[in-house]
């Protein structure tokens, strides 16, 4: 076997997080936020991402308390829901993505919106107190904000708003950050995506590194 490399998963994590803490500027994060930011940088492979990460006051505590209380995690994409490390969840929490629900294509046509946005309508019955994770579609985050404009819409406990890309990502995250209907976390600008979002969920779920 000619290629020699670190094969111990725990050692790989430890060395990775040590590298991030040596290279990234994490001083503005409090002890609740810092491990979340570190794991987001880890998933992105990108020191410097910390400059774009924003936590609203109380976000980390609200999100952790929701999971500890058994709240579900609602995700806009299967790449997000599939990435959550189930054994890290504190209460065997449900991790739910409704994008493939058979009702969604027709609902999207009716709403004249994307399937990613339409899928959120199916969250309403369990949305109260939930952790919401938008890691792919700007249209999902915009639609969530519009749902929450209705005072009768159930309130999630916290929102991770990290859609990625070139159309609407920056704008939808800026809108979330300005409105702050509940405690939230964003990555400003174009960066974001499922891996960064999953990392935030996994860090909220457990302090184990």
Site residues (vs a second copy, CB under 8 A): 1-3, 5-9, 12, 15-16, 19-20, 42-46, 78-79, 82-83, 112-115, 117, 138-139, 142, 145-146, 149, 164-169, 171-172, 175, 189-195, 198
Query: CB-wise, 163 or 183, nearer to a second copy?
Result: 163
Query: CB-wise, 129 or 163, nearer to a second copy?
Result: 163
- For the chain, the first-to-last Cα distance in angstroms comes to 30
Query: CB-wise, 39 or 64, nearer to a second copy?
Result: 39
Length of the chain: 209
Given 24, 37, 40, 42, which residue is catalytic?
Answer: 42
CB of 117 to a second copy, least distance (A): 7
- Catalytic annotation on 42? yes
CB of 173 to a second copy, least distance (A): 11
Of residues 160, 207, 163, the one with CA closest to residue 189: 163
Active-site residues: which are they? 42
């Amino acid at each position: 076997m000619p290629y020699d490399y670190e094969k111990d998963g725990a050692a790989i994590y430890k060395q990775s997080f040590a590298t991030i803490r040596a290279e990234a500027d994490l001083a503005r994060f409090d002890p609740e936020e810092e491990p979340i930011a570190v794991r987001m940088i880890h998933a992105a492979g990108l020191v410097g991402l910390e400059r774009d990460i924003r936590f609203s006051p109380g976000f980390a505590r609200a999100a952790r308390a929701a999971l500890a209380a058994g709240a579900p995690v609602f995700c806009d994409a299967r790449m997000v829901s599939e990435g959550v490390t189930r054994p890290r969840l504190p209460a065997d929490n449900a991790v739910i993505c409704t994008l493939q629900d058979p009702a969604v294509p027709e609902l999207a046509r009716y709403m004249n919106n994307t399937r990613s946005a339409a899928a959120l309508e199916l969250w309403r019955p369990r949305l109260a107190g939930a952790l919401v994770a938008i890691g792919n579609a700007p249209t999902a985050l915009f639609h969530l904000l519009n749902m929450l404009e209705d005072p009768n819409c159930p309130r999630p406990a916290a929102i991770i708003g990290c859609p990625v890309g070139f159309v609407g990502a920056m704008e939808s995250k800026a809108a979330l950050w300005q409105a702050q209907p509940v405690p939230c976390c964003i990555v400003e600008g174009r960066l974001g995506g499922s891996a960064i979002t999953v990392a935030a969920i996994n860090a909220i779920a457990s302090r184990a590194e």
